[in-house]
Structure 1
Amino acid sequence: MRLGNWMADLRQALRTLRRTPGFTVTTVGMLGLAIGAMAGMFSVVKTVLLDRLPYADPDRLVYVTASAPGSGLPEELGAAPEFFLQYKEQSTLLQDVALYDNFTSTLRVGDRVERVRMSQPTNTLYSTLGVKPMLGRLPTEQDEDTAVVISHALWTRWFGRDPSVIGRTYDVSDKHRTIIGVMGPEFRFPRNDTMLWISQTIRPADIKAPGRFGADLVGRLAPGATYGSAANELTTLAARLPERFGGPTAYARLIGQHRAVVRGLADQLLGNYSGPLWVLFAATVLVLLIACANVANLFLVRIEGRHQEMSVRRALGAARGQLLRLHMAEAIVLAGFAAVAALAIAAVALPIFLSAAPALIPRLDEAGLDAATLSFTAVAALVSAFICGGLPALRGSAPDLSRLREGGRGLTRQRHWLRHALVVGQTALALALLIGSGLLMRSVYELRQVDPGYDTRDILTFQIAPERPELKDAASFARFNLAFLERLAALPGVQSVGLIENVPLNEGTSLMPIRTEQMSADANEGKLLHYNFTAGDYFKAMGIKLLAGRTFGADDHASSRGNVLVSKSAAAMLWPGRDAVGQRLQRRDQTAWETVVGVVDDVMQDDLQTPAEAAVYFPLVDTTPQGGRTVSSPGYVVRTARAETIAPEVRALVHEVAPEAPMYRVFTMARLIEDSMLQLSFTLLTLGIASLLALILGAVGLYAVLSYVVDERTREIGVRMALGARATQVRAMVVGQGVRVVGVGVAIGVLVAFAGTRALSSLLFGVQPLDVATFVAMPLVMVLVGLLASYLPARRASNLDPIESLRRD
């Protein structure tokens, strides 16, 4: 019987809503937009953050790194091969462990040659993660480094899903290797863009120089083990490494300071993205609450307009529960329509969101309108129905029968409190979002003011990977690169050219211990500095200032004089208070001394938020004794006013000089700057859209309330004007009422933002979560919007004809 009553009420609600299309469309539009935004963000959050990693027992997978407090080294060191062996053989709390790294290298399949993202993990990676190939087999120790497992994406794009690819041999990272397996589409470890995995076996005899940190290590906890207990055990095991593998005094000293760090693998893979995604999801929740407050206000207006009807129903014997059910039926019907609209909006907006988001967010491309998202949308719509319709329905189910004698007129000011409270809530939530957007806007502005130490305009950078028999050592690669630099410099419009092994904002640099003559022989660890190899007019092309001495000349790449350049910070670290030019330094594992011929400015290598690195620059050819280092595919830097359009000419030149070489990582420095800020800019854009929507909804809510108040007080306003009140006084009265409501909302919103903006602290740059300027400017914006929303109904009130107002019923 109760279900039958509900069905009857729902049919009645449909007929009633059909007669008020304006109310229906407005309500469905506001709720649909808000629910659609939240449903889309739920799909993203669920896929990226809530779904379990596609590995066996993912909760037991951990990422293992290390710290060395007091050593002056980076906060996290990563791992080294000897750590892998020690943990694998002796740990009781790690069931399995694997070492891996990431890099780009050349893949050649027939005439197709490209640089792709690769990884070379130990063969234990697959057992550690608990994964199996979709086709073929996994590598074993007998494969050494000759076997390759490819991703499903590579199998699809390059091989057309041909199963006979198993057993074929191709040129992979400068060596012939055989494809032995194809992974499933869900396996994308450790990055979305990893295309293949090269087999690797590490044996104790392979550890020639312990302490080569920087690799990544993943393990599987034994049952009952915790992060803390595993970290303690691994720290103890690491302390025995110098005894087993030897190494210099510096290595033993570092191991003495070593502390293992163990965290969940999911936290490691998602750490940079979880904060922004939760912030954006919270923003959509706030937008939905604001929309619900708006719709609740519309329901209150609608219920007041139907007061006469409800009073008659009540007087004729209708129970309060029947009236309550009738009002809630309308809210449920509208929420149902809003859910349908929300799914349509999410279906359109979600692909746009995904295309604008950073591409390396794990599993982001898997987000979609799946069953969980559909269920979430239905629940969100139902909850919205109760939020929007609950209080109005309670009020509408208890009509004041005494007002029947007044024909439904005479709404008292006390009955406005609920609508005003809803507007206060809207204003507070909208202001909290505005302040968050303001902080991110300030961060983007501050980031754009950072001086990275080089120019960011009129510069093209790219890499090529020439591979031919005559390019077999450092000298031959140097001759090729220097000759190609001359060809580049001859292109029309090119001002200067140079090359660098690791282009800023594109690739990171490695660390190397550097010792000076002033350091004692016992302290051979020296200072740990970043290093790079360069040639041509790199510093001129990049606009990096020469502070002292000179840069490299042609002779520096063709002799064994061993000249080097140092950055300003490196000079201060190695020779504090002294002139660095003419000083000598020595690299680890080498006996030769190299002379500093120049000091250049510091540059930001990884991104604009990381302080500039202390660095040493070596000539392209490492001609010092015990050297012979090969820089096979450096980054070329071309300064030209045609940076945005010159790439086709450069590509043609590459094809002419080295037709076998792929041209890759083609960027302008302006593009790299934008990419380095992509996560912050994307978060700002998304939160800014949510804030703008919240601001509009808040203004609409205030306008609707004041318009209704003016309508209810038409007779009163007419009396005031008939007694001599001026139009300006009437406008001031209505605007003042709106400003009071907005003022209360602003005060509460500031408190909400004060408590909530700390969640943004990890995203901010150059601005504090409680930035005074933002906390002053955004409330002023809110007040101005409130004034505008108040003025429109105030103007209408001041234009009323007193005679017509008094004649109104």
Structure 2
Amino acid sequence: MDRLFDDIKYGFRNLRANTTFSFIAIVTLALGIGVTTAMFTLVNSVLLKPLPFPNSHELVHMTLENRKTGELSTNTRIGFVERMEDLEVPVKEIAYYAYDQVTLGKGDIQVPFTMLITSQNFLSMYGVKPALGRWYEERDINTQSIVISHDIWQNEFAGDPQILSRDIKLNNKEFTVLGVMPSNYSSTGFTSVDFWLPINELDRPVNIVARLKDGLDVNQAKIQSTAIERLLDELIGESDSVWEIKYTSVLDSMVGDSKQSLYLLLGSVFAVFMIAVLNVVNLTFAQYANRTQELAVRISVGASRKRLLKQLLTESALLCTIGGVVGLLLAAWSLEWIRDFMGDRLPRLHEIGLDQSAVLAALALISISAIATALIPAYSLVNPNKLTDAIKQAGRKMTGDKNSQKVRRLLVSSEVCVAVVLLVCAGLLMRSYFSLADQDTGFNAKNIVTGHIWLPDNFTPQPNRAGYWLNLVDALENKPGVTAVAATSTMPMGRTGIDYPVNYSYPGAPLVPKGEEPSANGRSITPGYFSLLEVPLIEGREFDYRDTKDSPNAVVINEYLANTIWPNGSAIGNTLSLPVWMGGDYTVVGVVGNVKHRGLRSVPTPEFFLPVTKRAYAGMTILVKSSMDAGAVKNQMFTTSVEMEATAPMILLETMEDLTAYSIVSEKLLLTVLGIFAGVALLLASIGVYGISDNMVTQRTNEIGIRMAIGARPNAIRRWIVIDTSKPVIIGALFGVVIAFISAQFLASVLFGVNALDPMTFASVPVVLMVVGIVATWLPARRATRIHPQQALHYE
């Protein structure tokens, strides 16, 4: 033990004696270990770690999938769920839920919070119990009872121990608190829920969550769902029998499209870590080349190789441990940045932190780094010929053996190779991102604020709903600074709304087999919707005061649907036949431009629009265009909605520009993080190139002096050094292009508007790296030619 402490003291002394080497190595290792630990923690928390519920692998979401288009819909009703429970189904328990928002009175101010309306068995199916009190039961459905989150209990009610005997006012109604949820509980992974309320609106669209029977997976459950699909045909109607049940694990539902991006980033960060380790190994080569004589002399006076090896291993372990500790601090900061950057756009963010798995991952990375850096002194100590040469050259500067030079050049080539791969991937993603961002959405999102409202049951009759929406639009139009207002059942780029395909027909339509009828997405809107969004009116008119509940049925269709049905003539005045439950036959009065409703990656689809007086939904989105600050507009919208109906406050208040940006937030995260990784890789590779160039100049100073003494010009010396030290860069770049060519194929599915083998990207990256490499080699070459020949000849 005493010897170990002596070795640690000796290691610290050597690290302090070589501050430049120690600083560069520690920073390099901290970068490599830090970003790798952070990314591993992110992937582990989001993708790999089981959900914090008993037998979480059995939990699935049940959605409706369109067989023809592959589109998913969660627009199911409670009645369907209740009838499904009586069938032979592959699940042992079914629950349902829907998001809503409530206001909590704080004096004269109403503050909005998120609420989850659920079935009474929702929490028990997850295997969770309230931390305080109880969950609601069947007897509580119509008793104004509620369960609150741990954060609400602590922040809004100061952790009142008597909370269960208190009444709280939500939406200006008194509610009795039944229980308090455990801290950090989240059943959905994204939005933090503040209140839970038993559902009592049978017509409300809900999300279905279920627990599979023992031994079944999602594929087996699908096979056993014929009874459910027959029920679907019965409830929806034969003409809409394109729908089938889809099972998705709750974890996969949470993760969604993030999985591929996160795994890609994890692979990229391991590449950065590899470059960092190679760089430190390269630095260690140079460091121990300068200590070879010291080690040889110590062995010649009786020190054992085993003893020296232990000291050097301890020194490497100290170096890597310090780098690892700094890296853990960097990882903690990186995770904080990711949480702030992503907000609620990445699931399970509240679970991300430097837990035991993260520390173990960091220890593994530290161990790998220590072993790699320790192999260099080990090689020196077990090579007697090298030590003998070192003793013979005592008193003169070591020039470094050829094998060491070859290994160092190989390390630099490897660094450059990996850097090229990362830079090519980052370049492709950058071009893809800007291609997405430049897409024409078909509308103008500037100065528009949106909000969503869900009306209570007393607005169930269609005329009541339509009247409310029109009155709300009129009320908002009279507010200061407001230039236009409209309402829609489904907003472009929105995260809420009713959007599902509806079968249609028209006079002269060809006969098609059952289940293959054409369909289009239908939306309900108020007058002025297209003008507000600046969607071009191609022919005909928009909806206006003429379109009432008693007027002839009128419909506006998009250009895609018009060209599909009537490619050789005008659509105006023609008949579009919809299902009876949507009103039957409609006359086309207008054709508008195509709009990207489902994100910037979406392609045009057939769409039709109905006036709100003909089809009014309980949930709709309000759009307000105003010259005022977005924050002030949101306050206006929320206040107006509460004044009109206290039980239906406006929720999800966001600017339309933010919603559009949200549609490519995953691409932005991928580009940002991979771009950082590529930048770090380029920096580390350039440090490696500079290091080998500087070491060459240092070790060959005598040769440089001789060349200059016999007449070699400085330019020739610089050119010789640059060419010689650029060879590993060129070799690494060539291999990197080949590997990037293969790696780019895996990016094809996430790229947009750019080929995975884009010639510009593949040509520009090696050029950039070569320029960086030339600069890194030119600086030491310039220093070499400034040494006077006489000084160089006396260098040793």
* Contact 1:141 1:201 (8 Å CA) reproduced: no
* Contact 2:497 2:620 (8 Å CA) reproduced: no
1:502 and 2:498 are equivalent in the alignment: no
Flag structure 1 segments of 5+ consecutive residues without an equivalent.
Answer: none
Write the deviation string for residues 578-630 of structure 1: whole angstroms up to 9, x where unpaired: 422112333441555332211111111231122234322222323xxxx6x35
SS at match of 2:703: helix
* Counterpart position of 1:647: 633
* Counterpart position of 1:611: 603
* Counterpart position of 1:354: 339
Q: 2:267 aligns with which of 282, 304, 311?
A: 282
TM-aligned CA deviation for residue 746 of structure 1: 1.1
SS at match of 2:493: coil
Q: 2:422 aligns with which of 424, 428, 433?
A: 433
What is the correspondence of 1:372-387 to structure 2 with a 5 Å cutoff?
Answer: 372-387=357-372
Q: CA 1:540/1:254 → structure 2, altered by over 3 Å: closer, same or farther?
A: closer
* Counterpart position of 1:672: 659
1:789 and 2:772 are equivalent in the alignment: no
Q: 2:699 aligns with which of 694, 709, 712?
A: 712
TM-aligned CA deviation for residue 717 of structure 1: 1.6
* Counterpart position of 2:500: 511
Calculate the aligned-residue CA RMSD, in Å: 3.5
SS at match of 1:604: coil
* Counterpart position of 1:322: 307
Q: 2:472 aligns with which of 467, 473, 481?
A: 481
Q: What TM-score do you get using the length of structure 2 for normalisation?
A: 0.88
Farther off after superposition, 326-335 or 386-395: 386-395
Q: 1:726 aligns with which of 702, 708, 713?
A: 713
Q: 1:180 aligns with which of 158, 178, 181?
A: 178
TM-aligned CA deviation for residue 412 of structure 1: 3.9
SS at match of 2:774: helix
TM-aligned CA deviation for residue 801 of structure 1: 1.9
SS at match of 1:595: strand
SS at match of 1:194: coil
For residues 257 and 390 of structure 2, what CA distance do their matches in structure 1 show?
60
* Contact 1:715 1:808 (8 Å CA) reproduced: yes
* Contact 2:490 2:620 (8 Å CA) reproduced: no
* Counterpart position of 1:104: 100
Q: Between Structure 1 and Structure 2, how many residues are aligned?
A: 782
1:218 and 2:209 are equivalent in the alignment: yes
Write the deviation string for residues 38-97 of structure 1: whole angstroms up to 9, x where unpaired: 22223323322232211111122233345454x346267786657644653444642223
Q: 2:110 aligns with which of 103, 108, 113?
A: 113
AA aligned opposite 2:227 = L
For residues 633 and 115 of structure 1, what CA distance do their matches in structure 2 show?
18
Q: What TM-score do you get using the length of structure 1 for normalisation?
A: 0.87
What is the correspondence of 1:44-59 to structure 2 with a 5 Å cutoff?
Answer: 44-59=42-57
1:292 and 2:281 are equivalent in the alignment: no
* Counterpart position of 1:306: 291
1:267 and 2:252 are equivalent in the alignment: yes
TM-aligned CA deviation for residue 763 of structure 1: 3.3
Q: CA 1:373/1:677 → structure 2, altered by over 3 Å: closer, same or farther?
A: same
For residues 133 and 624 of structure 2, what CA distance do their matches in structure 1 show?
42
What is the correspondence of 1:561-710 to structure 2 with a 5 Å cutoff?
Answer: 561-585=552-576, 586-622=578-614, 629=616, 634-638=621-625, 640=627, 642=628, 647=633, 650=636, 654=640, 662=649, 664-710=651-697
Write the deviation string for residues 688-742 of structure 1: whole angstroms up to 9, x where unpaired: 1121111111101110111000111111122222222222221111111232111
AA aligned opposite 2:228 = A
TM-aligned CA deviation for residue 674 of structure 1: 2.1
TM-aligned CA deviation for residue 303 of structure 1: 0.8
Farther off after superposition, 768-777 or 380-389: 768-777
Flag structure 2 segments of 5+ consecutive residues without an equivalent.
Answer: none
AA aligned opposite 1:456 = A
For residues 215 and 453 of structure 2, what CA distance do their matches in structure 1 show?
50
TM-aligned CA deviation for residue 428 of structure 1: 1.4
1:43 and 2:36 are equivalent in the alignment: no
Write the deviation string for residues 557-596 of structure 1: whole angstroms up to 9, x where unpaired: 5753332211112333454544221123334415553322
* Counterpart position of 1:752: 739
* Contact 1:434 1:691 (8 Å CA) reproduced: yes
* Contact 2:285 2:404 (8 Å CA) reproduced: no
For residues 653 and 742 of structure 1, what CA distance do their matches in structure 2 show?
64
* Contact 1:474 1:631 (8 Å CA) reproduced: yes
* Contact 1:584 1:594 (8 Å CA) reproduced: yes
Write the deviation string for residues 153-187 of structure 1: whole angstroms up to 9, x where unpaired: 44444444445554767776898865533322243
Farther off after superposition, 651-660 or 329-338: 651-660
AA aligned opposite 2:59 = L
For residues 634 and 601 of structure 1, what CA distance do their matches in structure 2 show?
20
Write the deviation string for residues 374-415 of structure 1: whole angstroms up to 9, x where unpaired: 333233222211122323432255343133222253434443
Q: CA 1:162/1:272 → structure 2, altered by over 3 Å: closer, same or farther?
A: farther
Q: CA 1:575/1:225 → structure 2, altered by over 3 Å: closer, same or farther?
A: same
AA aligned opposite 1:22 = T
* Contact 2:59 2:209 (8 Å CA) reproduced: yes
* Contact 2:549 2:613 (8 Å CA) reproduced: yes
Farther off after superposition, 223-232 or 152-161: 152-161
Q: CA 1:785/1:668 → structure 2, altered by over 3 Å: closer, same or farther?
A: same
* Counterpart position of 2:194: 195
TM-aligned CA deviation for residue 544 of structure 1: 0.5
Q: CA 1:23/1:158 → structure 2, altered by over 3 Å: closer, same or farther?
A: same
* Counterpart position of 1:371: 356
* Contact 2:637 2:650 (8 Å CA) reproduced: yes
Percent identity between matched residues is: 27
For residues 357 and 439 of structure 1, what CA distance do their matches in structure 2 show?
22
For residues 300 and 30 of structure 1, what CA distance do their matches in structure 2 show?
15
TM-aligned CA deviation for residue 4 of structure 1: 4.9
Q: CA 1:466/1:57 → structure 2, altered by over 3 Å: closer, same or farther?
A: closer
* Counterpart position of 1:775: 762
For residues 450 and 784 of structure 2, what CA distance do their matches in structure 1 show?
64
* Counterpart position of 2:412: 423
